[in-house]
Structure 1
Amino acid sequence: MTTTMRDVGSLDAAALTEALRRGDCGEVAGDAGRRAQYSADASNYRRVPLAVVFPRERQHVLNVIAVCRRLGVPVTSRGAGTSTSGQALGPGVVLDFSRYFNRLLALDPRAGTATVQPGIVLDDLQRAASGHGLLFGADPSTHSRCTLGGMIGNNACGSHSVAWGRTADSVLQLEVVTYRGTVLRLGEMTQQEIEEAIAAGGDRGRLIGSLYRLAQSNLAVLRTGLGRFPRQVSGYALEHLLPEHRFNLARALVGSEGTLAVVLSATVRLISPPPARALVVLGFQDACAAADAVPALLKHRLLALEGLDHALTDIVTRPETRAAIDTLPAAPAWLFAELGGACDELPSRATALAETARQAAGFTGSEVITDPARAQRLWRIREDGAGLATRLPDGSEAWPGWEDAAVPPGQLGSYLRRFTRLLKQYGLQGAVYGHFGEGCLHVRINFDFTTEQGTAVFRAFVTDAAKLVAAHGGSLSGEHGDGQARSELLPLMYGPDVISLFEEFKNIWDPDNGLNPSMIVRPLPIDGNLRVSPHRTPLPLARPATGFSFRADDGDFAKATRRCVGVGKCRTAAHRGDVMCPSYRVTMDEKDSTRGRARLLYEMTQGEVITDGWRSTEVRDALDLCLACKGCGADCPVGVDVATYKSEFLHHHYKRRIRPLSHYTMGWLPLLSRPAARMPRLVNALTSSRLAPLVKRLGGIASQREIPRFADETFLTWFRRRTARGEGPRGPVMLWVDSFNNHFTPEVLKAGVAVLENAGFRVRVPDGTQCCGLTWITTGQLGVARRIAQRATAALAPAVAGGVPVVGLEPSCTATLKTDLPELLHGDDDARGLARATVTLAELLVHHAPDWEPPRTEAQSISQTHCHQHATSGFGADAELLHRMGIDNTQLASGCCGLAGNFGFERGHYDVSVAAGEQVLLPAVRSAAPSTHVLADGFSCRTQIAQRTDRTGTHLAQLIARALPPADTSA
C-alpha cells in the first residue's frame, strides 16, 4: 500500500516529538531552539523542521523511519550540515548522525577497507587509517567536520580527486534502509546474483528487478548521457547500473542526497599515500590564464591542482594566514600543484612541472615549497575558501547558489572567460577558486536577496550560467550536489529522457516520496525558501540601538549574525591550533557551536521560530556555554564573533531585570577589588575559611573553584613609591595596569617593568586606577562598560597622541583595548587611536626595540597562547622573541584553557571548563618535564593550570626578567 505524504504544515511538532520518543528513536528534540538551529545548512536556504533526532544505534534509525512512515512525515538525513545546496534541510524530521551514530566499526589494513557508521567525521577515519599507513581518497576542504554519510550523499571529491577520485570511487558496499523499511546491502552484482535476487522475491527482489529492467531498457541513454567526465555529479549516477560497471547499486546510490535510502553503514576502500609530497606554487596573470595551463600540467601525474586568485586572498585578515599569503609568489592568481612520490624523484619532477608552466601564456613565476609547515599554511587558505569568499573585500555579502559547476578540464579556460563576462553583464562580483585540475570552480557571488529585483537577478543569472555550463559539456554540480540550488535547472543540462529516468529511479526506491522530497526530481524553485528574502520582514530588533557599533555590518545586528554561512569550521573536534569552539569540542552539540549560536541569534531577529526577541530563553541557554574566548572572531573564515554577539544579547536580555549573581560579583570585580586590596589578609582569610562555600554561593561561583587570593600589595602601590631604573633612551611606554595582575599577581607587572627598563624604555602608568571594562563587557553590562572605557581612553589619550605605545601584559585586556573599545565607543577617535597604539610585550620588544638583545637562557618551554591574543595579535612576535632567547618552545595546539575569565568560575560551568582544559593543555602541562617552563600570559590560563595541576604558569615577562642580571631586575 502506498502511503500518501501528509501536509507537514498541519502536523503538530509536539505530537510528532512525542510519537518519536514513544517509538524509541534515540534523542529527540522538537523545541523551538533546536528547530531553529537546524533550519539552515551552508546554503542560501531555510526550512524549519518539525523535529530533530539524534540516533544512537542502528535500531533507532529503523524506528525513526517506521514512525515517520506511519505518520506520513518526510525524513532528511544530515551529517555536519555543511551542504551548500540545501539538501540537508527538510520540513519534517532531520536525522543528525554526527553526534552519536559516528563509530568506526571495522578497519582491515590487509584488505585496505574500513566499515563506518554514516556520522563518522572524515578526519577521524583518516586518523585511524593513518596508523596503518592508509587514507581515504576523497578529501573535501571540510574534512575536519564533514561526515562520511554526507560525503556519500553528495559524492564529495576534494583537492586530491585528480589522483584518488570521488567518494563513489572508494565506496565498496552500503547497508541502507528505504522509507518502507526494507534493509539492503548494496554493492557490485553479477548477472547470476541479479537473477537470484529477483527469483527470491520479496521487497529486495522486487526493487532489484525494477532497477535491472530500468537499466536494460535504457542502455544507450545511460552510456551517452551520464558519466562523461569525472566531475559530472549532477542528477543520479545511473551509469553504475550498466553491465560494464557490474550493476553497482552502492555507487549508484552515492550522490543521491538522501532521496532514495538512508545509509546505516558503509564499507569503503583505503589507499596507501605516496611516501613524500611536494607543493609547487605557480603564478599567473589571471585565473583564466591559470585555467588555460591546466591540460598541459595534468600530464605530470599530479595529486592535486587547485586554483585561486587575489580576490580570495585579499579578504584574509587573520595574522597567521595573512603572513602565509604574503609569502606567495607575486601574482594575481595561482595554481597549487602537488606532486607525490619518492623523495629523490620529487625535485626533478617539480622542475619539469615548473618548466611546463613556464610555456603557458600568462605565467609569472613559480616556487617549490619544501617546508611542510609552510605548505600546510598555504593549503589552509584554499581550505578556508568557502568561508573567506562570503565577504568581498569591500565588505559586501557573497552567497553560494552558483559555486559548484564543473566542465571538462580542456574547456575550463573558455568557460571561465565566458562566466566572467556573464558576471559583468549582470553587474555581479565573486572570488573564483576551486579544483582547476578537474574543471570544477567555486565562486560566491554578491547576489542581493534583500530586494525583489536582486532575487530576480539571481534567478536569471543562474539560469544563464546553467546554459553556459551545458554548452561546455559540463555539470551543474561538480561535488556539492544539486539540492534546491540546482535541481530545478537539471533540464537545462539533461534532455527529457534522462530527467524521466531520474524520476523513475526515485519512484522505484521511494514511491512514497518520503525521503528528502523535492531534491533532484520534482524540485522546489531555486528562489524559494531563501534564508534572506524580501518577503521576510525582520523584527525591529534587527536594527536596535546596539551597544556595539557593528561597523563591518553597517550597524545591522541581523546582518552580523548572518555572517555565519554554515561552513561549520567551528564544529571541528581536531586541534589544529584553532581556538573555536571550546564548548562544542566538549559537548559535540550543535547548540554549543559558533554556527548553532549564530543561527539562533539570526532566527531571533526574524521572529518566526524564536518569537520573544531579546528575552528569548532559547538564545540565552545556547549562549550560556559560550566562553567569550573570541576564537571564532579569528578562526571562523567569515569572522563570526559570538563573544560580541553574546555581550550584546545579555545587554538587552537583562535590561531592567535581575541578573545572575555572577554578573554582580565577577562583572564588577575590578571595582570590588579596590576595597579588598585595602584589607587583603582579611578577605583572603574569609574566602579560604569555612564560610567559603557560602561566599561562593552568594557570588554565583562554582563550589569546586578556589577563589584567587589578593596580593598583600597592589602593583600600583608598589610602582608609585619606587624609583625608576635607567635613562629610558628609547622614550616612554605606557604600561597598561590590568585589574587581574594589579590585585592578584603584581609580580607579573613588576617583571614587565624590569624587562621594559632593561630594553631602554621609560615606564609610565595611567593616572588613577583605570580599567578596560572587560568584565562588564563579557557580562553584557555595556552601559557601565562604556563609561569605564571612556575614562580609560581619556586617561591615555595624551600619551597616545604623543606617539607613546601602550603595552599590555594581560592578553584579555590588551585585546579589549585593541578590538572592543572602538566598537563600544562608536566613532571615538581616542578609542581608535588607543587600539592602534596597543601592543603586546613581545610586539613592543620585537618591533619597537629590534636591536635589543634579550637575555640568553637555553631552556625548553611549552606555551599556552591566550585565546584573545590568538584572535587579535597571534603568537608570531612571542615565537620570535623566544627563539632569540634560545628557548626551545612548543606552542600547544590546545585552544582555550577553559577558564576564560568569569566563565570557568560561574556556577554550572565547572565541568565544561575543566573538560576544555583537559583536552590538550592540562595533560600537556602534567607530562612536561620539571625543568620545562610552562608559559601562559593569561591570568585565567595560569589559574586553570594552578588549580588543576601541580605546576604554575609563567608569564613571558617573568621568564625574561628572571634571566636578566640581578641589578637589572626590580621584580
Structure 2
Amino acid sequence: MRDDLARALDGEVAFDDYTRHLYSRDASMYAIEPLGVAFPRHADDVAAAVAIAGEHGVSVTARGAGTSLAGQTVGAGLVLDLSRHLRSIVDIDPQRRVARVQPGVVQDQLNRAAARHGLMFGPDTSTSNRATIGGMIGNNSAGSGSIRYGMTIDHVRALDVVLADGSSVHLGQGTAALRDGLRDILATHADAIRDGYPKYWRRAGGYRLDRLADSGDLAAFVVGSEGTLVVVTEALVGLVPKPRHTMIAVGHFTSTIAAIEATADALACDPAAVELMDRTILDLSRQRIEYAGLGRILHGDPEALLFVSFSGDDEGQLRGAVDRLARLWERHRHGYHTLRAETPAQQAGLLKVRKSSLGLLMAASTGTSRPLAFVEDTAVDPTHLAEYTRRFKRVLERHGLRAGFYGHCSVGCLHVRPFVDVRRPEQVRAMRAVAEEVKDLVRSYGGVNSSEHGDGLARSEFNRELFGDGLYAAMRAVKRLFDPDGRLNPGKIVDAPPMTEHLRDALLPPALPLRTRLRYEGGGMRDAADRCMNIGLCRKTDTGVMCPSYPATRQEEHATRGRANALVKALSSPDPERALGDERLHEILDLCLMCKACKSECPLGVDVAALKAETLAARHDTHGVPLRSRAFANIRLLNRLGAATAPLSNVVGRIGVLRRLLGITDRRPLPTFRRGRVRGHARGDVTLLADSFTTYTEPGVLRAAVDLLEAAGHRVRVERGGCCGRAAFSKGLLDDARDSARALARRLNADDNPIVGVEPSCLWTLRDEHPRLLPEDPDVRAVAGRVRQIEELLVDLPLNRLERRILFHGHCHQKAEVGTGATVALLRRIPGATVEEVDAGCCGMAGSFGFEAEHYELSMAIGAERLFPAVRAAPDALIAATGVSCRQQVRHGTGRTALHPLEILRGALEREDARGA
C-alpha cells in the first residue's frame, strides 16, 4: 500500500517506525499505532488515499492537530494528517458572513483573517491557537462562548467531503447524496429519534439524527461524526460579528462549590462566558514563568475563581454589567472579592491561564499517575450544576481519586480530570467504576455525557445504554449507509471497544536502567520525555517561542511533542542506549534549536533542549564527536584566539575551504573579532561574567554594563577566567560542560557577590544546566543561588531623555528562565522612550545553528516568520536585543543594527553626564 500511495499522492507518505509512533497518540489517554501516515496536498489526494486504503482493506483515520481528548484521532490503519498542507483560507465573504476553508486551517488563523472584516468564527476553544477547523467539525467543538455562539454544528453551512469509497461529494442544504437511505432510517426509527436524545442542548455525542430530522441539512448532520462517516476536504462556515470590547469580572471564592453557586448571578447579567478554575490549576500557574502573571494580580489565596466575560461594542454597557454582577455577588454574599479586568493588557494573564488550564493540570502528573480525560465532558443544566458537582465529588471520594476542576459554568460543563495510574489494575477498575457512576449521575439530571469533546474511545462504549437500543440501532444503520465496510475511523461512536482498551501508559514497557549525565527530577530520562500528553501547544505558530522549527516545517516531528514522543519510543526499546544513537531519531531532534521555550511555554515543562543534549552525548559515545561539534564546543578558545589575532583573524574566517571543512555556511558573515579588555576591580560587590561571545566580538556591551553598574553605585569585579560550558552542552559534550561548570563555579564562589551577565545563554546556564550536571556540588549550588538579572541592580540611574521608539526582542533563554519584564521595565525608565516588546518568537540563529550549512535556510525562514517583518516595519526605531545571536540574525536578515539594551541605556547615561559637566 505504501508504494501505491507514494505513486498516487502529490503529498508525502511515511511508514517508518518513528512516524507511526508519533501518530499513535493524540491528547487522550489512548495509543494505537497506525500502519502508516499520509500527508495529502489537496482534496484529490484525500480521495486517492481513501480509495487505495479501501482496496487494501485498511481503515482510515483523518486528523488535524491531533488534540482530541477522547481518542478520536488514533487508529490502526492509515492516518491522514490534514494539517500539514490543507490549511488555506480559500475565501472570506464579509457580506454573506461566511468563509471557505480547508480542514487544516487553525481557528486563530481564521479569526485573524476574519477580524479584518469585523468578523470571527463563533466557537471559542481553549486550543484556538492550534485546533483546526476540520478537527472542530469532527468533534462538534464548542468552548467558553457557547452560551452565546452555540457549537460548531451551528456554524457549518456546507462541506466538501470524501466518502468511504473514495468518491467526492458536496454536502449542504438540499444535497441529494445518501438522502434516500437516511430518509428510511428517519422513518424507521422516528420514535427513538424523537425520545432518545438527552434533553439538554449542549450535545457532542452520537450521530445527530434529531438535527437531520428537523432540518434535512446533511452538512450539519456529519458535524460531530469524528471522521466515521466522511473525510472533510473543505468547509463553508458562518462568521459572526466580532465584539469590539471585552471586560472580565473575576470572582474570588473560598471553595469550588461556592464559585459554582455564584453562577446564577453571573448568568443573570447576560455574560458571554462563565469559566471556573479551581485551586489546583491556580497553584500550578504560579509555579511557571509563562503563567505567573495571574497569581500576581489575585487578592488573597482563593480556592477557586469564576471568570465572567462580557463582550460587546458599548464599553459603558459592559462596565455597567461588571458593576451589576459585583453588586449581586456582594448582596448575595458570593465570594470575597471581584477583580475587574477591562483592558486587553489587564486580561492577558487571565486568558493565558484559562486557555492553558488543561496543560497546567496535566503538569501535576507524578510518575505515571496522570489527570485523565474520561469523565471531563459531561454537562447539565447550570441550575443543577452545584448539586451535581457535590455528588460528582462524592463519587471520586468513594473511589479514592482526586481531581482538578475547571470549565464552563455558563453551560453546566465542568472538565473534571481524576488522577489515575493505568499501570495499576485496581486504578483502572476504579476509573471504569467512576465512568459508569458519572454516566448514570449525569443522566439522572437530564444532562449529556459528551458535551464538546466527543465520544472517541473514552465514551463510545456507553452510547447504546445512553441512547437506548432503538436510537443506537439507527446510529449503526447510519454508519453502515455511509461506510458499509467500516473503513472510516472504526471503533468510535458505534461498535466501540471497552474504554479500558488501548490505554497509552499501560502499553509502554517498564523503562530500563540508563546511565545519564543530567539529573531528571521525579524519574529518569524517559519519564522526563513522557510527561508530554500531546495537548499540542507546541504547534502554535503566531505567538510565543515554542517551537521555532514547527511553523517553518509544519511537520509533527519538529514540534516539541513529536520530539518528546520520539524519545519515548527510543527509551522504551530493549536497548535504549543504542536506540539513542539511531539516525532517524537524530533527524527528528536535529531541528531542535535548543531555545528552551518548551521548558516554560509547555504547560508540562517538557525540556526537550536538555533531552537533546543528553541524546547527543549518547550518540557521541557510540559514533564519536564530529569535528564541527568539537570546534563549536570550544568556542571560547577560538574566540579568544580570534580576538588576539584580529584583524588578521577576520580575514582568515572568510576562507571558503575552512568553512566547508567545518560545514559552516558561506552565506552568513562570521562575527567580527575585536580586541579590547573590559576593566574591573580585583574585588567588588558584584561580579560580571565575561561570557565567551560578547567578550571577544562585542566588548562594548561589557563596557556598558560596567559603566552602568558603577553609575548605580556598584564596584564591579569582571570574571574573565573559564567558560560556562554552554556551547559544549548544546553540542552534547556533557562531560566537557561538566568540567567547565565545576571550574567556573570554583572561581565564582571565591566571594559571595551577586553574579550578573549580558549574554542570557551563558548567565542562565549557571542556574539551570550547571545544577543538573553537578547536583551535589556545593559551589555550583551556591553560584546558582547568586545569579541575578543585571536589571535588578540598575534601579536609580540618571538618564537623559531619548525621544525614540525602541523595539525590543528578548533572548529565548531569558524568556524561558526569568522572562523579559525586567529588561522592558528598565528601558521604559528612559525618559521620552517608547518601548515595545515584539512577540517574534525565536530569531532562528540559536548560537551555532544558524551558521551550520544544512540549517541556514531554516534559520532564515524562522527569522522571516515574525522577527524580520517586525524590524522592517519599524524603520525609525532603535532595535534592542539581549542575545548576541539575535543581534547577528537581525543584522544579517534585515540590514539593521541591533543594540544590547545596556548599550542604549549607556548612551542615555553618557548624555546625562555630559549635560551635568
* TM-score range for the pair, normalised by the shorter chain length: over 0.9
- Asked if structure 1 preserves the Cα contact closer than 8 Å seen for 2:723 and 2:744, the reply is yes
* Cα offset, 1:458, TM superposition: 2.4
Q: Please give the secondary structure, in 1, of the residue aligned with 2:764.
A: helix
Q: Residue 435 of structure 2: which of 462, 465, 478 is its match? A: 462
Q: Are 2:792 and 1:843 equivalent residues in the alignment? A: yes
Which aligned pairs between 1:414-813 and structure 2 lie closer than 5 A?
Answer: 414-533=387-506, 536-540=508-512, 543-551=513-521, 554-574=522-542, 576=543, 578-607=544-573, 613-688=579-654, 692-713=655-676, 715=677, 718-719=678-679, 732-766=685-719, 769-799=721-751, 802=752, 804-813=753-762
* Cα offset, 1:496, TM superposition: 2.3
Q: Please give the secondary structure, in 1, of the residue aligned with 2:315.
A: coil
Q: Are 2:155 and 1:170 equivalent residues in the alignment? A: yes
Distance (Å, rounded) in 2 between the aligned partners of 1:375 and 1:182: 47
- The match for 1:313 is 282
> One-letter code of the match for 1:710?
F
- The match for 1:211 is 182
1:844/1:544 CA distance change after superposition, 3 Å: farther
Superimposed CA distance per residue, residues 370-389 of structure 1 (whole angstroms, 9 cap, x where no aligned partner): 12112132111110111111
* Cα offset, 1:309, TM superposition: 1.4
Q: Residue 859 of structure 2: which of 913, 918, 937 is its match? A: 913
- The match for 1:351 is 323
* Cα offset, 1:393, TM superposition: 8.4
* Cα offset, 1:559, TM superposition: 1.2
Q: Please give the secondary structure, in 2, of the residue aligned with 1:816.
A: coil
- Asked if structure 2 preserves the Cα contact closer than 8 Å seen for 1:773 and 1:789, the reply is yes
- Asked if structure 2 preserves the Cα contact closer than 8 Å seen for 1:284 and 1:362, the reply is yes
Distance (Å, rounded) in 1 between the aligned partners of 2:235 and 2:672: 56
Structure 2 unmatched runs, 5+: none
Superimposed CA distance per residue, residues 47-76 of structure 1 (whole angstroms, 9 cap, x where no aligned partner): 111111111111111111110111111000
Which aligned pairs between 1:814-963 and structure 2 lie closer than 5 A?
Answer: 814-845=763-794, 850-886=795-831, 887-930=833-876, 932-963=877-908
Distance (Å, rounded) in 2 between the aligned partners of 1:527 and 1:256: 22
1:393/1:884 CA distance change after superposition, 3 Å: farther
- Asked if structure 1 preserves the Cα contact closer than 8 Å seen for 2:800 and 2:912, the reply is no
- Asked if structure 2 preserves the Cα contact closer than 8 Å seen for 1:843 and 1:878, the reply is no
Q: Are 2:2 and 1:21 equivalent residues in the alignment? A: no
- Asked if structure 1 preserves the Cα contact closer than 8 Å seen for 2:64 and 2:132, the reply is yes
Superimposed CA distance per residue, residues 509-543 of structure 1 (whole angstroms, 9 cap, x where no aligned partner): 1111000000111112212111111x532452xx4
Q: Are 2:46 and 1:61 equivalent residues in the alignment? A: yes
Which aligned pairs between 1:217-256 and structure 2 lie closer than 5 A?
Answer: 217-226=188-197, 228-242=199-213, 245-256=214-225
Q: Residue 300 of structure 1: which of 248, 252, 269 is its match? A: 269
Which aligned pairs between 1:255-294 and structure 2 lie closer than 5 A?
Answer: 255-294=224-263
> One-letter code of the match for 2:24?
S
* Cα offset, 1:792, TM superposition: 1.3
> One-letter code of the match for 1:668?
N
Matched residue count: 909
Q: Please give the secondary structure, in 2, of the residue aligned with 1:363.
A: coil
- The match for 2:143 is 158
> One-letter code of the match for 1:915?
A
1:898/1:25 CA distance change after superposition, 3 Å: closer
> One-letter code of the match for 2:754?
P
Q: Please give the secondary structure, in 2, of the residue aligned with 1:308.
A: strand
Q: CA-atom RMSD, angstroms?
A: 2.2
- Asked if structure 1 preserves the Cα contact closer than 8 Å seen for 2:107 and 2:129, the reply is yes
* Cα offset, 1:161, TM superposition: 0.7
Which aligned pairs between 1:366-381 and structure 2 lie closer than 5 A?
Answer: 366-381=338-353
Distance (Å, rounded) in 2 between the aligned partners of 1:611 and 1:94: 30
Query: What TM-score do the two structures reach when normalised by structure 1?
Result: 0.90
Distance (Å, rounded) in 2 between the aligned partners of 1:275 and 1:674: 56
Distance (Å, rounded) in 1 between the aligned partners of 2:667 and 2:496: 55
Distance (Å, rounded) in 1 between the aligned partners of 2:819 and 2:198: 47
* Cα offset, 1:147, TM superposition: 0.8
> One-letter code of the match for 2:748?
L
Superimposed CA distance per residue, residues 217-246 of structure 1 (whole angstroms, 9 cap, x where no aligned partner): 33332223226223222222221122xx22
Superimposed CA distance per residue, residues 584-613 of structure 1 (whole angstroms, 9 cap, x where no aligned partner): 111111111111111111111222999951
State, as a whole percentage, how many aligned pairs show the same letter.
38
Superimposed CA distance per residue, residues 354-411 of structure 1 (whole angstroms, 9 cap, x where no aligned partner): 2233344542221221121121321111101111110228786433233222222122
Superimposed CA distance per residue, residues 245-269 of structure 1 (whole angstroms, 9 cap, x where no aligned partner): 2222222211110001111221111
Q: Residue 116 of structure 1: which of 83, 93, 101 is its match? A: 101
- The match for 2:909 is 964
* Cα offset, 1:937, TM superposition: 1.4
* Cα offset, 1:107, TM superposition: 1.7
Q: Please give the secondary structure, in 1, of the residue aligned with 2:80.
A: strand
Q: Please give the secondary structure, in 1, of the residue aligned with 2:656.
A: helix
Distance (Å, rounded) in 2 between the aligned partners of 1:750 and 1:18: 62
Q: Please give the secondary structure, in 1, of the residue aligned with 2:398.
A: helix
1:377/1:323 CA distance change after superposition, 3 Å: closer
- The match for 1:101 is 86
Query: What TM-score do the two structures reach when normalised by structure 2?
Result: 0.96
Superimposed CA distance per residue, residues 914-968 of structure 1 (whole angstroms, 9 cap, x where no aligned partner): 11111222233234334x2211111101111222332211112211112224797
Distance (Å, rounded) in 2 between the aligned partners of 1:422 and 1:669: 60
> One-letter code of the match for 1:597?
R
Q: Please give the secondary structure, in 2, of the residue aligned with 1:221.
A: helix
1:171/1:563 CA distance change after superposition, 3 Å: same
- The match for 2:311 is 340
Q: Are 2:9 and 1:46 equivalent residues in the alignment? A: no
Bigger drift between 934-943 and 834-843 goes to 834-843
- Asked if structure 1 preserves the Cα contact closer than 8 Å seen for 2:887 and 2:899, the reply is yes
Q: Please give the secondary structure, in 2, of the residue aligned with 1:680.
A: coil
- Asked if structure 1 preserves the Cα contact closer than 8 Å seen for 2:265 and 2:325, the reply is no
- Asked if structure 2 preserves the Cα contact closer than 8 Å seen for 1:281 and 1:329, the reply is no
1:708/1:406 CA distance change after superposition, 3 Å: same
- Asked if structure 2 preserves the Cα contact closer than 8 Å seen for 1:122 and 1:146, the reply is yes
1:218/1:854 CA distance change after superposition, 3 Å: same
- Asked if structure 1 preserves the Cα contact closer than 8 Å seen for 2:514 and 2:576, the reply is no
> One-letter code of the match for 2:741?
A
Structure 1 unmatched runs, 5+: 1-15, 198-203
1:323/1:24 CA distance change after superposition, 3 Å: closer
- Asked if structure 2 preserves the Cα contact closer than 8 Å seen for 1:25 and 1:63, the reply is no
Bigger drift between 273-282 and 129-138 goes to 273-282
1:405/1:798 CA distance change after superposition, 3 Å: farther
